[in-house]
Structure 1
Amino acid sequence: MNLKRQKLLAGAGIVLLLTVLSSMTVFAAETEAPLSSMYATAWALVPPIVAIGLALITKEVYSSLLVGIVVGALLGTDFHPVKTVESVFKGGFISVLSDEGNIGIIMFLVILGIMVSMMNKAGGSAAFGKWAGEHIKSRAGAQLATIGLGILIFIDDYFNCLTVGSVMRPVTDKHKISRAKLAYLIDSTAAPICIIAPISSWAAAVAGFVEGEDGLSIFVRAIPYNFYALLTIIMMLGIVYLKMDYGSMKLYEKNAKNGDLFTAGKRANGTEDVKEKPNGRVLDLVFPILALIVCCVTGMLYTGEFFSGAGFVEAFSQSDAPSGLAMGSFFGLVITIVYYLLRRALKFRECMECVPEGFQSMVPAILILTFAWTLKAMTDQLGADVFVATAMESCAEGLMNLLPAIIFLVGCFLAFATGTSWGTFGILIPIVVKVFEQSNPTLMIIAISACMAGAVCGDHCSPISDTTIMASAGAQCDHVSHVATQLPYALTVAAVSFVSYIVAGFTQSAWISLPFGIVLLGVVLLVMKKYQKKQQN
C-alpha cells in the first residue's frame, strides 16, 4: 500500500513539474534549425529529472532510464511518433554505440572484467585477501587502505574505479565492509581526486576549456578553492576515524557486520564466484594490476603524441583517454595471459574461459552506461546546455561576490541532470572566463574552481553518471543501492562547500575559506556523532 502511494505521489509530482515548466519563458537558441519548439527551454531538463526520480523511487534503473530517453525523444521531436522512434534508436542508441570514445570505454570495461576473472581464477585475489588480512587488522584500516589506493591512482576516474574495486574487494569483504561503503569510497577517490591532480585526464579537459589563458596554470591555482573535492577527502577520513555512518549507509554497514555485504539481496554482476586455485600468490594479483597501470599510462601518453616529441604534461593534456585506456588494457591483458602461462597458474584454455565470464560480469555496467549516454544525447538534442548557459549569463551581473556559490549550485544541478561533469565544464567555464577575466582575475579563479567542484558534486550524486556507474561496477554493488547510500554524504559535503564559496566570494582568500570549510565540516560530523549517541542512549 505504501509503495502504491509513493508511486502515485511520484506521478503527481512529475505532472505538477511539467505543468510548472509549461508556464516558463522560452529561451530561444541562436541556432539555424532547432529540432524542437522546446529546444533550449526548461523542458530540456525534464528527461533526466524523470529518469532519476523514477530510479530512486522504483529502485529499478534500466526501465527508469528508458522512460527518460523516450520522454526526451518525444519532447525533442514535438511528439511526432515516427520521428520519436528514429530519435531513440538512430539519434540515441545507435549513435552513442558508434562513438569511438564510448566504444573505447566499453572495451576497457570488458578487458578489465576479463582480467579480474583471470585474477580470481588464478587465486591472486584470494591470496591478496589473505595477505591483507594479516597486515590490515581492522575495518578502519581496510577503509583507509582503499582511500589511499584511490588517491594514488589519480590519472583517470574510469581506471581508478575499476582498479581500486578489483584490488580492494577481497580486503573489504574480509573485514565485513558493505559493498555500498566500498562503492562510496571508490567513487569519492575517483572524480574528486582526478579534479585536483594536475597530471590527469581531468586536468587536461579543464585546461582545454579555458581559452586565451594558461589553462594548466589556472587549474593549479584553482586547487585550493576546489572545496568539494578537498572536503570529500576530509569527509571520508572523518567517517572512518569517528566510526560513524548515517542515512541508509548505516543500515548497510550494520548488516555487513552480521555477514550481509549487499543488503539489497543481489550482486551487481549476477554471476557466481569462480573456483579459485589453492596455490595462488599475491603476485598473481599485483603483477597484472601493475602491467595494466603501466600499459594504460603508456597508451594515454601515446595518444597524446608523447612518443612523437610532445612533453609529458603536454601529452596528458591532449591525450585521448578512452582510446589510450582501450589500447593499454589490451596489451595489459596479453602480458597477463603470458605471465599466467609462464607461471603455470592457468592453462590457456582456462584463460579463454575467463573471456565470456569477464564480459558477463560487466554487462550491467555496460547496459547502464549505454542508457545513460543515450539519455545525455536526448538532453543535448533538447539544448539543456544552451538553456543553462543563457540563464547563467543573464544573472551574472550584479552578483559578483555571490557568483561562485551560485555557479557551484548550477554546476551541481547541471551535472546531476546530465550525468556529465566534463560537459558541465564546457558550458560554465567559458562563461566564467568571459565575465571575470578583465574585472577580477582572483574571483575568476574561485569561480572556475566552483564550476569544477559543482560539476564533480553533481557527477558524484547522479545515478546516470558514468563514474558513479563504474564505481558500482568496481565494487560489484547494486547501482541504486550505491546512489542511495552515497547521497547523504555527498549532500553534506555539498552544503558545507556552498557556504565555503560564499565566504570565498567575499574574502577572496583560500587561507580563510578553506580552513573555514574544514572546520565547519568537522563541526557537522561531531554534532551528528553526538546526536547518534543520544539516540542510542
Structure 2
Amino acid sequence: MDGSMFIGTWWSLVPPLLAIVLALATKEVYSSLFIGVAVGALLYTGFQPWEAFNVFFDTMKGSINLNILIFDVLLGMIIVLMAKSGGSAAYGNWAGKRIKSKRSAMLATTGLGVLIFVDDYFNCLTVGSVMRPVTDRFKVSRAKLAYIIDATAAPICIIAPVSSWAAAVNSYVPADAGITGFQLFLRTIPYNLYALVTLVMVLYICITGFDFGLMRKHEANAAKGDLFTSGGEAFEQIEQEDAASSGYVVDLILPVAVLIISAIGGMIYTGFINGAGDVISAFANCDAETSLIFATSVTILLTFIWYIPRKVITFKGFMDSFVEGFKLMIPAIAILIFAWSLKGIGDRMGIAAFVEGVVGANASASVFVPAIMFLVAIFLAFSTGTSWGTFAILVPIVTAMFPGADTIEMMIISVSAVLAGAVCGDHISPISDTTVMSSSGAQCNHINHVSTQMQYAAVVAVICVIGYLIAGIVKMWWVALGSSILMLLVVLTVMKKRTEAKYGKVTADEDH
C-alpha cells in the first residue's frame, strides 16, 4: 500500500494528537474526532480519497464495542426511570435534610464513588445520577461534580481487586512473566501512586474547599447560581423533569443495589464459566461487559415489577424511558464511537509498534524505568484515549524487560507506573471514554470537564514522576507512597495559602 511509509512511524501519532488539539482549541469534540479519524485514514492509504473513505467506515464498523453501547443505553433507561419515579428527587430531598453543607455533599459523592468499584462506566453514570440533585442543592459546579466522579472512578477500579479493570490487567500479563496476572495486580496496588495520590487530593479539596485554575471560576459561578458556566442548555429539560418529580428514596436505592449485586454476581458467574476455581480467580477471568448488560437487564426488570403495580409510572411511560434513555446517552455514545474509531485508525497506523520500538530502544533496567514508563503511559493514553489499550501495549513490554526473579520488584514497580500513567493520561484526554462517561454522569459540558480536570491531574502527575524516581531507588512502596502524599499535601497547602492571600479565604462548609 502506498501509505506504508507512514505506518509504524511518528506519523501514527498525528491523528490522535490532531483530534486532541482541535478539541481543546475549538471546544467542539465531535468534529475534532471526525477530522482525526479522517486524517488517519488518508495517511493510512497514502492520500487516496476513495480508499480512505472505505478505511474510515471499515475502521468505524470494526471498532464499535456493541456491548458497551447496549450497556450505556440500558443504563440511560435506568437513570430516566429513577428520575421519573421521583427516586432521584426524593434522595436529593432526603440527603438534603441530613447533608448540611457543601463539604458534606462533596464527601458523600466521594464516598459513593469509592463504594462503586466494580466498573468505571457503571461508577461514572450511577454516582452522577444519584448525587447530582444533592450537589446541585449545595451549589457544587457541574465541573467539580464531574471531577469528583472521574477521580473516584478509574483510580478506584485500578486498585480494586474485584473489578473489571483487574480482569483486564490480568489478561495482559504474559504466561512466562514469572508471576500470575492477579498476583502482579495485587502487588501493584500500593505502588499505584497516581490512583492513591489522586484520592488523597480529592479528599483534601472536598474538606478544605480549595480550588485553583479554571475550576475556581466554575465554583465561583456556581455560588452565584450558574452550575454549568457554559454548555448547560442540553441538560435543562432533564433538570426540569427531575425537579418536577416526587417519590420515595427506595425507588432509587433499590435499583442501584440490584445493579451492583447483579453486576458482581454476573462477574463471578462468568468467571466460573470461563474455568475459574474460586471467587478471586473468577473476577480475574470474568466477562465484564456481558455481566454489566446482565445487571442492567435485571435492574430494568426489577424496576418494572417495582414501579408498575404501585403506579409510580405508567406502562407507556416505562416504555418511553427506553427512547429517553437513548437520547440521554446519545452525546456519550457519539463521542465513544468516534473515540473508538480513532483508536482503530491508530492500530492500523501501527502506533503500538512505534511506541514499542521507541521504548525498547531507549529503556534499560535502571532506577529511571518506572518514571519513564509512567510518562510513556501518560502520553499513549492521552493520545489514544484508552487506559486498557495502553495496558495492552506496555504491560507485556515491561514484563519482558525484567525476566529474572531478582528483578521482580522492579517489574512490579514499572507495571504499577504503566497502570498509573494510563489512568492519568485517560484523565487528561478529551477522547477518553471514562472522561466522556464522567461528563455524562454529571451532565456537564465535556470540554469544561476536561479543561478543569487536566489542571488538577497535572499537579498529581508531576508529584508521581518524583515518586516513581524514589520507588526505583528504594524499592519500598511505603517510602514512595508516603513521600508522594507528603509532597502533595505540602504543594496544595502552599497553593491554598497563596490563593487565599490573593483572593481571600475559601471554605467548603458554607450552609445553604
Instruction: Give the TM bin, normalised by the shorter chain.
Output: over 0.9
Once superposed, what is the RMSD of the aligned Cα atoms?
1.7
Answer yes or no: is the 8 Å Cα contact 1:122–1:276 preserved in 2. no
Aligned to 2:23: 55
Say yes or no: does 1:421 pair with 2:384. no
Say yes or no: does 1:315 pair with 2:315. no
SS at match of 1:230: helix
Report the AA paired with residue 485 of structure 1. T
C-alpha change, 1:122 and 1:489, in structure 2 (3 Å) is same
Aligned mate of 2:4, from 32, 36, 52: 36
**Identity rate, percent:** 49
Answer yes or no: is the 8 Å Cα contact 1:35–1:382 preserved in 2. no
Answer yes or no: is the 8 Å Cα contact 1:270–1:361 preserved in 2. no
Report the AA paired with residue 324 of structure 1. S
What's the CA shift for 1:305?
Answer: 3.1
Aligned mate of 2:186, from 194, 214, 220: 220
Answer yes or no: is the 8 Å Cα contact 2:84–2:245 preserved in 1. no
Say yes or no: does 1:281 pair with 2:269. no
Report the AA paired with residue 54 of structure 2. E
What's the CA shift for 1:335?
Answer: 1.0
**CA offsets 1:327-361 (integer angstroms, 9 cap, x no match):** 22112111111100122211212211212111111
C-alpha change, 1:267 and 1:225, in structure 2 (3 Å) is farther
Report the AA paired with residue 89 of structure 1. F
What's the CA shift for 1:120?
Answer: 1.0
SS at match of 2:4: coil
C-alpha change, 1:357 and 1:283, in structure 2 (3 Å) is same
Report the AA paired with residue 182 of structure 2. L
Aligned to 2:265: 298
Distance across 1 between alignment mates of 2:192 and 2:499: 30
Aligned to 2:510: none
Answer yes or no: is the 8 Å Cα contact 1:306–1:312 preserved in 2. no
SS at match of 1:304: helix
Distance across 2 between alignment mates of 1:34 and 1:435: 34
Distance across 2 between alignment mates of 1:320 and 1:85: 34
Distance across 2 between alignment mates of 1:463 and 1:345: 39
Distance across 2 between alignment mates of 1:95 and 1:320: 20
Higher relative contact order (CA 8 A, sep 6+): 2
What's the CA shift for 1:534?
Answer: 1.9
**Higher mean displacement: 470-479 or 33-42:** 33-42
What's the CA shift for 1:218?
Answer: 1.5
Q: Following superposition of structure 1 onto structure 2, how do residues 433-512 of structure 1 map, counting pairs within 5 Å?
A: 433-438=399-404, 439-512=406-479
Aligned to 1:359: 326
**CA offsets 1:193-221 (integer angstroms, 9 cap, x no match):** 11111111111111222222211111111
Distance across 1 between alignment mates of 2:274 and 2:394: 33
What's the CA shift for 1:34?
Answer: 9.8
Normalized against structure 2, the TM-score is what? 0.94
Distance across 1 between alignment mates of 2:385 and 2:274: 34
Normalized against structure 1, the TM-score is what? 0.90
Distance across 1 between alignment mates of 2:236 and 2:34: 21
Aligned to 1:140: 103
What's the CA shift for 1:308?
Answer: 7.5
What's the CA shift for 1:290?
Answer: 1.1
Report the AA paired with residue 345 of structure 1. V
C-alpha change, 1:507 and 1:307, in structure 2 (3 Å) is closer
Aligned to 1:72: 40
Aligned to 1:515: 482
C-alpha change, 1:504 and 1:385, in structure 2 (3 Å) is same
Aligned mate of 2:303, from 336, 340, 346: 336
Answer yes or no: is the 8 Å Cα contact 1:268–1:472 preserved in 2. no
Aligned mate of 1:251, from 188, 193, 217: 217
Report the AA paired with residue 492 of structure 1. V
**CA offsets 1:144-168 (integer angstroms, 9 cap, x no match):** 1111111111111111111111111
Answer yes or no: is the 8 Å Cα contact 2:88–2:242 preserved in 1. no
C-alpha change, 1:115 and 1:214, in structure 2 (3 Å) is same
What's the CA shift for 1:68?
Answer: 0.5
**Higher mean displacement: 304-313 or 166-175:** 304-313
Aligned to 2:77: 114
What's the CA shift for 1:303?
Answer: 2.7
Report the AA paired with residue 68 of structure 1. G
Distance across 1 between alignment mates of 2:304 and 2:139: 31
Say yes or no: does 1:161 pair with 2:128. no
